[in-house]
Amino acid sequence: MENDKIRTMTTWFRNWFLDNKVVAILLISLLILLNFLVFSKVMYMFHFVKEFLGVVALPIIMAGILFYLLNPLIDMMERKKIKRVWGIALVFVVISGLVAWGIIILIPIIREQATSLIQNWPEYWNKLLEQFDSLLSSGMFSQLQGKLDDMDKSIIKSITEQTNGFIDSAFSGIGSVLGTVTNVVIALLTMPVLLFFLLKDGRDLPYHTMKLLPTKMRANTYKVLKEINMQISQYIRGQLLVAFFVGLMFWIGLAIAGLEYAVLLAILAGVLNLVPYLGSFLAIIPIVIIALVSSPFMLVKVIIVFAVEQALEGRLIQPLILGSNLKIHPVTIIIVLLTAGKLFGVPGVILGIPAYAVIKVIVEHIFKWYKSYSGLYVEPYNPAPKPSVPIEKRKVKKRKRFNVWKKKK
């Protein structure tokens, strides 16, 4: 009798816990979370890892970005019967020439325009405020004048307090600034060496990496790493090329329009365009302010330049360079940018999208494994209408799918 009870309890425990897939998944999730909890408690033991990454991460990221940008060119030269080492040396010579040209020709222009813009910016801002004051003094905005004056005073007070706090923190953080400058100098010195070996031996890296993994894990791991590499390479090459053409179009357009600081503003627009969607809006703000202060006709010309640039970028450049390979919804991109910027600042805004693309690939493969393991996604039946189906056709298609699914049952 007791043996039957023990056998019954054992069977019940096996059915509800040991052989239950949901419980197994929950236990695995609990173990993963416990590992994270333990790791957070002993984080101080890995302080040296943080210091090491603080020195090594920047040159590795810079070399990786240039690797994704230059590797297709090196591969093309190798297909043209040029030895890979000689192709890399030729690319390095061209890049060195471009850097020297920038230092001799471009940087003095940028420095001159930046210095002039910084010196004249208060004058531009005051003229802009005068124009707004003259607009607000009209009868149309007379009722809002008092509220806007109070708001202006509160904004000025807040800016003053934040500026004082920033100055205090700046003087107290001179050591960290010097450390950052040191890290940047080290990165600029070590990055070319890392880039050379990446271009030379980077394509052999997956083979040597797979040898470190168990045999059963190699096929799936290589597939995941291949998709991650494709996502990152397409995004980096696409964003850099689009940013270059955006800066070039703004340079040409603003120079034709006759706007001051055309070179500086075009470079700023190209750099800010690395931030999807939000970058273009941020880039146009200083351009519009300078044009608005110059003359109403200049503002009209700048708006035309911006409209032409947006049309060419949206209709020609982005479809040709980026295409639809990343497959991330614009709303998702904005949410990722806002979240990454809040958590990690400027580096988060720049690296948030490629990091999200990597996480997306990993999560998709985990979800595919879960679907095959759980057995909960065998039936293809979906009662919801397909995207972009007209309303009048949804009921008919839904009824047909339901009938097909019912016959299978």
Question: Taking a C-beta distance cutoff of 8 angstroms, is the pair 270, 255 a contact?
Answer: no
Q: Which has more pLDDT, 347 or 74?
A: 74
- Could you tell me which of 187, 148, 179 has the C-alpha nearest to residue 66? 187
Structure confidence at residue 349 as a pLDDT band (50, 70, 90): confident
287 pLDDT exceeds 80? yes
Q: Tell me, what's the pLDDT at 179?
A: 58
Segment holding 406, helix H or strand E:
helix 391-408
| Burial annotation 238-257 (CB, 10 A radius, 16+ → b, else e) | bbbbbbebbbebbbebbeeb
Section 334-347 average pLDDT:
80
Q: What is the pLDDT of residues 204-260, one digit of tens each?
A: 888 888 888 888 888 888 888 888 888 888 888 888 888 888 888 888 988 888 888
Q: How high does pLDDT run on average in the chain?
A: 75
Highest average pLDDT, of 47-61, 157-171, 214-228, 306-320, comes from 214-228
Section 107-116 average pLDDT:
81
CA atoms within 13 A on the CB side of 284: 14
Q: Tell me, what's the pLDDT at 60?
A: 85
| Cα–Cα dist 167/28, whole Å | 50
- Could you tell me which of 287, 230, 231, 291 has the C-alpha nearest to residue 263? 287
Section 156-170 average pLDDT:
51
Section 188-214 average pLDDT:
84
Q: Tell me, what's the pLDDT at 165?
A: 53
Q: Tell me, what's the pLDDT at 209?
A: 83
Q: Tell me, what's the pLDDT at 166?
A: 46
Highest average pLDDT, of 53-57, 180-184, 208-212, 317-321, comes from 208-212
180 pLDDT exceeds 70? no
Q: CA 193, 197, 200 angle in degrees (round to 5)?
A: 140
309 pLDDT exceeds 70? yes
Q: Tell me, what's the pLDDT at 397?
A: 55
List of residues 6+ apart from 246 with CB closer than 8 A: 269, 270, 273, 280, 309, 313, 317
96 pLDDT exceeds 80? yes
Section 331-357 average pLDDT:
80
- Could you tell me which of 238, 242, 220 has the C-alpha nearest to residue 230? 238
353: number of Cβ within 10 Å: 22
DSSP H helices, 42-144, are: 47-79, 84-101, 107-136
Structure confidence at residue 40 as a pLDDT band (50, 70, 90): confident
Question: Taking a C-beta distance cutoff of 8 angstroms, is the pair 273, 280 a contact?
Answer: yes
Which 3 state secondary structure label does DSSP give 376?
coil
276 alpha-carbon distance from chain centroid:
7
Q: Which has more pLDDT, 302 or 403?
A: 302
Q: Tell me, what's the pLDDT at 175?
A: 47
Segment holding 217, helix H or strand E:
helix 215-257
**DSSP percent split of the chain into helix, strand, coil, nearest 5:** 90, 0, 10
| Cα–Cα dist 65/194, whole Å | 11
Specify the DSSP class assigned to residue 323.
T
| Cα–Cα dist 238/231, whole Å | 11
Structure confidence at residue 173 as a pLDDT band (50, 70, 90): very low
Q: Tell me, what's the pLDDT at 170?
A: 44
Which structure tokens are listed for 326? 């990343």
Q: Tell me, what's the pLDDT at 19?
A: 62
Q: What is the pLDDT of residues 50-90, one digit of tens each?
A: 777 777 778 888 888 888 888 888 888 888 888 888 988 99
Residue type present at position 67: F
Section 382-388 average pLDDT:
69
Question: Taking a C-beta distance cutoff of 8 angstroms, is the pair 127, 293 a contact?
Answer: yes
Highest average pLDDT, of 36-40, 79-83, 292-296, comes from 79-83
Structure confidence at residue 174 as a pLDDT band (50, 70, 90): very low
Q: Tell me, what's the pLDDT at 229?
A: 84
Q: What is the pTM of this model?
A: 0.67
Judged by phi (left if over 0) then psi (alpha if -120 to 50, else beta), residue 11 lies in alpha
Question: Taking a C-beta distance cutoff of 8 angstroms, is the pair 276, 221 a contact?
Answer: no
Q: Tell me, what's the pLDDT at 390?
A: 57
Question: What are residue 213's phi and psi, to 5 degrees?
Answer: -95, 155
Q: What is the pLDDT of residues 117-149, one digit of tens each?
A: 777 777 777 777 776 666 666 555 555 555 555
Question: Taking a C-beta distance cutoff of 8 angstroms, is the pair 72, 87 a contact?
Answer: no
Q: CA 140, 146, 150 angle in degrees (round to 5)?
A: 135
Question: In percent, how much of the chain has pLDDT > 70?
Answer: 72
Q: Tell me, what's the pLDDT at 337?
A: 79
Q: What is the pLDDT of residues 257-279, one digit of tens each?
A: 888 888 888 888 888 888 777 77
34 pLDDT exceeds 70? yes
- Could you tell me which of 276, 280, 303, 55 has the C-alpha nearest to residue 186? 55
| Cα–Cα dist 12/64, whole Å | 55
171 pLDDT exceeds 50? no
